[in-house]
Structure 1
Amino acid sequence: MAETADRDRRKVLEALEPGQVCKGVVSSIEGFGAFVDIGGFDGLVNVAELSWAHVDAVSDVVEVGQEVAIVVLGVDMEREQASLSLKALCPDPLEEFARGQFGRVIPGRVERVVRIGAFVMLHENFAGLVPIHELAARDADEPESVLQHGDEVMVEVVDINLYRRRILLSLRS
């Protein structure tokens, strides 16, 4: 019986290909992600692949027994594992942001002031960095001399690196 189940799981795994979209059922939730049963084989959706937004708890996104559509990211036949993604089926909010906001001056709120500059929250899912040399018309030695946590500011979106998921901002404009 166990041998037949192993053979069936292996067949499902062999049929999976990166980029393939499948349906499955969330079989268990762990702190690091959720396991999804795809026809008798459990693949892992790592917490980073659950949503484009920050995820505090896996159970905030999925629940055991929930049917989900997932994308196969990779298959490791040797380890008999598959990595899956829920967020791959949703548009990347950073790409949408880049199309509409690159080069524009937009409002934001200072979230954190650090030695290298200040992080400004621009959208519920991401913040950008105003490097120290972009804080003022004159170079500031201490970022705290120009901005404080909670300050509402207008910043120019001067660079967006979609691969590294980084936004560069300026107060100079």
Structure 2
Amino acid sequence: MLGGPAEYPELWAFLESLRLGEFLSGTVAAIEPFGVFVALDDGPAHPVFPGVGFVSGAELSWHHFEAVSDVVRVGQRVSCEFLQFDTWNLEARLSLKAGQPDPFQAFADTVTVGRTLSGQVTKLIPFGAFVQVADGLEGLVHLRELAWTPVETPSDVVRAGDEITVVVTGIDRERRRITLSRRRVTGTRGRPRSPR
């Protein structure tokens, strides 16, 4: 723990005054591989804690990104939702993505189970393949749903980068998961691919 209320009374008073769900404005002060420090406009000036706010990598964006610097830059103005007072690190935990439209909810509001979509295979895993069905959104095609005939591994029928047609078989809003089937697409048999 970095210090208690007696050691940093102004900082503690500020952090304790924040309310869950409140939006705070500030400037990106530093970028690290694990997240971003934000100098909050209303935060106390302090040489040890110049940021006061912190946004973890998971709270930066709804979309996939390779590096934190792909999302924000030092000096950029941001508005973030307050998530919690981290008493161990003496900082406000924040969410930048909370102020952005959630692409999953937009997808779930407009796409229904049974809809046919096209997408690119992004990754193969032992039990299936992930397919990008919208900007920043991937769904899982389970191994048994990749082809009409049983296959032992996803690479028997698809490769990363392939464009395939799939049917939406499930949308789980709570767990934010999309399940897909290639086997149920009308007119496709999902035959094993010829070696390249």
Query: Normalising to structure 1: TM-score of the pair?
Result: 0.85
Amino acid in the other structure paired with 2:90:
E
5+ residue gaps in structure 2?
Answer: 45-51, 185-196
Q: Is 1:16 paired with 2:18?
A: yes
Paired letter, 1:138: T
- Give the aligned partner of residue 90 of structure 2: 80
Partner of residue 75, structure 2: 65
Q: How does 1:2-151 map to 2 (within 5 A)?
A: 6-38=8-40, 39-41=42-44, 42-77=52-87, 79-103=89-113, 104-151=115-162
The answer to whether structure 1 residue 166 and structure 2 residue 166 are counterparts is: no
Query: Which residue identity lines up with residue 43 of structure 2 in the other structure?
Result: G
% identical equivalent positions: 42
- The one-letter code sitting in structure 2 at the alignment partner of 1:58 is V
For residue 14 of structure 2, what is the amino acid of its counterpart? V
1:68-122 alpha-carbon deviations (Å, 9 max, x no partner) = 1110011134652321011001121011112222321000122233321222121
**What's the counterpart of residue 188 of structure 2?**
none
Contact 1:112 1:118 in 2 (8 A): yes
What is the CA–CA distance in structure 2 between the aligned matches of 1:22 and 1:152, rounded to whole Å? 42
Distance 2:170 2:24 in 1: 36
Identify if the C-alpha distance between structure 1 residues 12 and 160 changes in structure 2 by more than 3 Å, giving closer, same or farther.
Answer: same
| Distance verdict in 2 for CA 1:137–1:85, change over 3 Å | same
C-alpha offsets along residues 9-60 of structure 1, whole Å, 9 cap, x if unaligned? 2221111111111112222222211111222351101111111112322222
Q: Structure 1: state its 5+ residue gaps.
A: none
Q: How many residues align?
A: 170
Which residue type is aligned with residue 26 of structure 2? G
Q: Does the Cα contact within 8 Å between 1:47 and 1:55 map onto a contact in 2?
A: no
Q: Which amino acid aligns with 1:14?
A: E
Note if 1:154 corresponds to 2:156.
no
CA RMSD of aligned residues (A): 2.2
Provide the TM-score with structure 2 as the length reference: 0.76
Where is the helix percentage greater, Structure 1 or Structure 2? 1
User: Equivalents in 1 of 2:154, 2:107: separation in Å?
Assistant: 26
